Structure 1
Amino acid sequence: MELKQLQTFVTIARRGSFTQAAQELGYAQSTITTQIQLFEQELGTRLFERLGRSVALTPAGAKLLEYARPILRLCAEAQRAVAVGENMRGILTIGAVESLCVVRLPELVREYRRRYPEVEIALKIANCADFRELLGENQIDVAFFLDQAIAAPDLVTALQVPEPLTFLAMPGHPLISRAPIGPADLAGASLILTEAGCSYRRALESTLAGAGVKPHSVLETGSLQAIKQFTMDGMGITLLPRIAATAELADGRLVKLDWIGPEFAMLTQLVYHKDKWLSPPLRAFIALAQARMGRDNGAVARRKAGEMAGEIGDSESFASLS
């Protein structure tokens, strides 16, 4: 049993496709197929059930997955522990949804790189549903979730910051004159939404379904900028984190709709896996995020940042942020 086989196996299980796994790993699909066939021969059992283009784990495959993920995670941790030691160098892989990557991370990453120039940073843009698996497989070190409060036993939340959502429309949109608006006012409306799997889209659809409301149409795109542009062009209304449209609201290109429906209670949350080894670069990043993003969220966040900064022997520089 080789680590390469386990990595291929876990990737196929996560993507549900030999083709997509091959693309992610940079292999030809025939190479992926051969790896799994040899692996199944070695184990003496089938790991995947293939029906047409559909791929599903067999009971044996599901059992192996329970072991494969922690094995890969521990191997990656061991490699990093040996390579990094106690030095502030290495690679830090950060997951973030696009809206946070655009408006929350630039200042944070800029300051981190100024302090620790020998640490390489890799950003992975995805949705919150993907981050749970990526953290569990150690594909990313830490993730910024934009979601309702996370209470998963295998995840640790290092930071929580309230993230207000706002309904937005172009100036002169008919719904502006009907303010305040609730779920019933969205019946027959044209909505411009993020891709399926986005936490606040899921919350909105749940609210509308609970009220028995069906929109006229939904235009879906994964681009934050495209959502705002389509809204400014009058193609519909949208729901976004308020911070993502600060500039457009300030100069009047977008208008906030007064919403009196259920609150969505979204939070920006910095999360890592409970079994994750907190390397010095990772501890430093978490501490800086707590200090920068949590300083307006009360003394608790500042105290935690100071405690973690002390762990890496950099308490003076972090204290200056409080």
Structure 2
Amino acid sequence: MEFRQLKTFITVADLNGFTRAADVLGYTQPTITSQIQLLEIELGVCLFERIRKNISLTHEGEKFLIYAREIINLCEQAKNIVTDRSMTKGVVKIGALESICTTRLHTLLKVFHHKFPDIEIILRTIKSNEHKQLLIDNQIDVAFCLDNMMTNSEFIVELAVPEPLVLLAEPSHSLVKYSDVYPQNIVKYPLILAEEDCSYRRTMISILSDYGVTPKAIMEIGNIQAMKQLAMSGLGIILLPKITVEEELSKGKLVELNWSGPSFEFLTQVIYHEDKWMSPALQTFLKVTKEILPIQYCMSGKI
């Protein structure tokens, strides 16, 4: 079993194709096919189902993929352990929610790139419920998520800062004049909410359920900008992190409702898997994140 065979196997599995893997690895397709066949002969199992031009992992292939990733990871650790840890080179793969990408990360990444131009950052926009599995599968190194405090011991919370959520409507909405807005008030109007897997949408629905009330209507929108536009058009009430609507609030295009129901206790959290190898590049990125992110929150009056 050779190192290159394992890398080829993982690449084919990730890209779901021999041709794509050949392009990425710089091999010919026959070479890719030969490496996989030799690996299958050595293991005595079929790793991929091949039906016409489509391939998929067999049950044995799925199990072997887990160990192949671990072997590659250990080899990388062994190689890096003897290199100069002061080197500021490498790659950091980040997964972040859209709301965090568009508000918090641009300043952090700008500062980081200025200080460490030789560290490559790969940024991936993720959904609210994706980060755990992506970290487990080692598809990302670190996640920026917005949720209740992480309690799963499998993950390390490197940083957690409060992230207020607000209910908003356009200025002429009838609820704007209310000194106290409760769940039974907002269900009389359409709610413009993020997709079903969004953490703060789930919290809102849970609160309404606890109060025994049901929304008049829910408009499900997967884009924050579209949600804001619909609310500004008077089509409903939205729930969003306050940082995402600061411009609209300052210009009077949206107004924060005086929510008196249960509080939305959410935090922006920077997390990674407990078994993640802390490369010099990742350590450097986390260090800068802990320096810069809290400053952003302080400047915007969050903590």
2:191 partner letter: L
8 Å contact 1:164–1:241 — kept in the other structure?
yes
Alpha-carbon distance, 1:56 to partner: 11
Cα 1:65–1:250 change in 2 (3 A) is same
Contact (CA 8 Å) 1:72, 1:137: kept in 2 or not?
Answer: no
Q: Which residue is 1:144 aligned to? A: 144
1:226 match: 226
What is the number of equivalent residue pairs in this alignment? 276
CA distance 1:183–1:3, change in 2 (3 Å): same
Whole-Å separation in 2 of the counterparts to 1:40 and 1:168: 58
Bigger radius of gyration? 2
Query: In structure 1, what residue type is equivalent to 2:207?
Result: T
Which residue of 2 is the match for residue 2 of structure 1?
A: 6
Residue in 2 that maps onto 1:134:
134
Matched residue, 1:250: 250
Which range is displaced more, 69-78 or 167-176?
A: 69-78
**Distance in 1 between residues matched to 2:61 and 2:123, nearest whole Å:** 30
The aligned counterpart of 1:303 is none
1:70–1:137 CA contact under 8 A, matched in 2: no
The CA deviation at 1:95 is 1.1
**One-letter identity of the residue aligned with 2:104:** R
Contact 1:97 1:145 in 2 (8 A): yes
For residue 274 of structure 1, report the CA deviation from its aligned partner. 1.3
Give CA deviations for 1:91-111 in whole Å, capped at 9, x if unaligned. Answer: 221111011111111111111
**1:22 offset after TM fit, Å?**
3.5
The answer to whether the 8 A contact 1:192-1:237 is kept is yes
In the superposition, the TM-score normalised over structure 1's length comes to 0.73
| Residue of structure 2 equivalent to 1:278 | 278
- Amino acid across the alignment from 2:115: R
The residue correspondences of 1:167-178 to structure 2 (distance < 5 A) are 167-178=167-178
Deviates more, 1:182-191 or 1:255-264: 182-191
SS at match of 2:261: coil
Match of residue 120 from structure 1: 120
Distance 1:78 1:106 in 2: 33
Greater shift, 252-261 or 83-92, is seen at: 83-92
Q: Distance in 2 between matches of 1:229 and 1:253?
A: 10
Q: Residue 293 of structure 1: CA displacement?
A: 1.9
**What does the per-residue CA deviation read over 1:273-304, in whole Å, with 9 as the maximum and x for residues that have no partner?**
11222222222221111112224889xxxxxx
Is 1:190 the counterpart of 2:190 in the alignment?
A: yes
Post-superposition CA distance 1:225-266 (Å, at most 9, x none): 111111111121110011111111011011001111111210
Question: Higher RCO, 1 or 2 (CA under 8 Å, sep at least 6)?
Answer: 2
| CA drift at 1:167 | 0.4
Comparing both structures, which one devotes a greater share of its residues to helix? 1
1:139 is displaced (CA, Å) by 1.3
Q: Distance in 2 between matches of 1:129 and 1:99?
A: 14
**What is the TM-score with the length of structure 2 in the denominator?**
0.77
**C-alpha contact 1:88 1:281 (8 A) present in aligned 2:** yes
Matches of 1:221 and 1:40 in 2, distance apart?
46
Specify the code of the residue in structure 2 equivalent to 1:257. Answer: L
Q: Percentage identity across aligned positions?
A: 37
Q: CA RMSD in A?
A: 3.4
SS at 1:2 equivalent? helix
Q: Does the CA-based 8 Å contact 1:73-1:137 persist in structure 2?
A: no
Runs (5+) with no aligned partner, structure 1: 12-20, 49-54, 299-322
SS of structure 1 residue aligned to 2:239: strand
Q: Shift of the alpha carbon at 1:162?
A: 0.3
Q: CA deviation at 1:131?
A: 1.2
Please tell me whether the aligned partners of residues 46 and 58 of structure 2 are also in contact (alpha carbons under 8 angstroms): no
Most deviating of 217-226 and 252-261: 217-226
Query: What amino acid is aligned across from residue 2 of structure 1 in structure 2?
Result: L
Partner of 1:292: 292
The alpha-carbon distance between structure 1 residues 246 and 87, as it changes in their structure 2 partners (threshold 3 A), is same
Equivalent residue letter for 2:99? S
Partner of 1:97: 97
The alignment status of 1:205 with 2:205, answered yes or no, reads yes
* Offset at residue 124 of structure 1 (A): 0.4
- CA 1:92 to 1:47, structure 2 compared with 1: closer, same or farther past 3 Å? same
Instruction: Name the stretch that deviates more: 126-135 or 96-105.
Output: 126-135
Is the Cα contact below 8 Å between 2:94 and 2:122 reproduced in 1? Answer: yes
Aligned residue type for 2:257: L
* Matched letter for residue 197 of structure 1: D
Give the match's secondary structure for 2:134. helix
Higher mean displacement: 151-160 or 170-179: 170-179
